[in-house]
Structure 1
Amino acid sequence: MEHIDIDHDGRTLRGVLHLPTAPNAPAVALCHGFGGNRAEFGYTFVRLAERLAARGVAACRFDFAGCGDSDGDFADLTVSDQVAQALAVLDALAAHPAVDPDRLSLMGMSLGGLTAQLAAAKRPVRSLALWAPAAGAVAMGEEGAKRRADAIAEHGYDDFGGLPVHQGFVDDAAGIDPFAAAAAYPGPVLLAVGSEDFVLGTRLLGEYQGLYGDRLDLHVFDGVGHGFETVPARERLVELTASYLERTA
């Protein structure tokens, strides 16, 4: 494992790169969720990266700007900026001497999943893995959008699980169609979601099925929510994803 710093828009994005012993390895960029960090819930990104490296696939865990150890202000977070950061990470991986620049993949959780699906449409990545992607963050229903607007008008931000969502995020999201903007990606997709997920509901799941069609490898985890909140579910999630990325990277 080596530390990696990536310059982007005057900020340093900080991460770690898990490398296999063999040279010229395929590589995956792991995109964490809203307000998270490169370890992800239950250290699942650490476990996934270690498992991938043991199977010959390099894995880069990094903190988005304003999160974890990276530079930046969390208040400035937008989806478009995160997509640009993910592309910068892919470029850094392509330039790394231990990585095969023609065998790059993307993986993301929640808002990181939305980020990954949008970034995959802008680079020739080999495969895409999504954990509970938060397309609803830019495709909110009318009721949710009004509640958020009222909260921002009153407090200056919307309190989302103890983290602030600012007007800049909302303005950026208004210009993003999460499915039309992702349609250019032609490769395979792994999608894992809990049956009780409040973020990725039936309507949005149907949109993903329509978007990716027979390229979609869908896995619904019964009895868990957005964070795959049991030990068995998280172990299954890590192993499923590691096997998929080993096969498709």
Structure 2
Amino acid sequence: MESNLIKVWFAKLLDALRFKTGVRKIDTVDPEKRDRKPFSVVSDGITIRGEVLFPSEHPARLYPAVVICHGIPGYGASRPESDPGYEGLAEEFTSEGLVAVIFNFRGCGDSGGDFDMMGWTRDLDAVLDVVVNTPHIDPTRIMVLGFSGGGAAAIRVAAENSNIYSMAVAGTPADFSFFNKDPEEIIADFKARGIIRDKDYPKDVDRWISGFIEIDPKRWIRHYKGKHLLIVHGDEDELIPLLQARELYENAPGGVAELEIIERGAHRLRLDPHCIQLLKKWFLRTLGWKQ
């Protein structure tokens, strides 16, 4: 009896703290003064680093959160001044009154380790554990946004992680059959990109390659556990054919998934203003917030 009373009390407390359906309070705090909380979490012994960005300088309620998953990096060319990076994308969401979470998968940025596709799924699981337990974040409104390979990792995680409320993936492959080439060539490519840092990695090439087969987005998207799912793709994607987005959609749970095609959209949809506006509106709509 006492346990049930505690559960009821806790549920009422969460309901009192979170933003209500149809109500959205947008903080007008200068982005430079908004609350930013760096974090690190250990995944398979590897340190994964990220940051939680709040829309308010002094958070006082429970905010929905968007966890942003980057794609597989290119060859390390310097970022043009016009590209605000994933931090700029995070600011797009905090300006709407949401918490935004950015982090680097293993092998990337300030995180440790070397690139491993299935390892990325474990990194995301570890980050989600941090987010769910971060003060002032609504644990029932955790949303995920994944780009390209990050979207593939997100699909795999969302097939088993019940903490994900809604998810959008952009420019994400239905499978990795386009990696059907000499494993040593693939590894050399990723070393050139700087995401395989250890010259002797991977120790087990077959196991490492099998990760691309195991993650198989078109297979795992069938088991998506969240309430809302959006698949976004550019009709001029130079890396992943539009047909793969349609294949993901056809395999997604009926009545949950939506498919949006970005006209003249290339692979790097993070840089497409139309795509970003579409994503922001979609996430707000899944929350029932008026725009």
Range class of TM-score, shorter chain? 0.7 to 0.9
Letter in 2 for 1:4: F
Aligned-residue RMSD, C-alpha? 2.7
After TM superposition, list the pairs within 5 Å mapping 1:1-249 onto structure 2. Answer: 1-21=36-56, 22-35=60-73, 42-72=83-113, 74=114, 77-124=115-162, 125-137=164-176, 140=177, 145=180, 148-149=181-182, 152=184, 157-159=187-189, 162-163=192-193, 167=205, 168-186=207-225, 187-212=227-252, 213-228=254-269, 234-249=272-287
Post-superposition CA distance 1:137-182 (Å, at most 9, x none): 2xx05xx51xx22x62xx5835269437863542222334322222
Unaligned runs of 5+ in 2: 1-35, 197-201
Distance 1:156 1:15, change over 3 A: closer
Question: Which TM-score applies when normalising by structure 2?
Answer: 0.71
Question: Which TM-score applies when normalising by structure 1?
Answer: 0.82
Letter in 2 for 1:7: V
Matched residues in 1 for 2:72 and 2:175: separation? 13
Q: Max radius of gyration: which structure?
A: 2
Letter in 2 for 1:50: E
The 10-residue stretch of structure 1 (101-110 or 160-169) with the greater mean CA deviation from structure 2:
160-169
Matched residues in 2 for 1:221 and 1:161: separation? 32
Post-superposition CA distance 1:87-127 (Å, at most 9, x none): 11111001111111121111111000111111111212110
Percent identity of equivalent pairs: 27
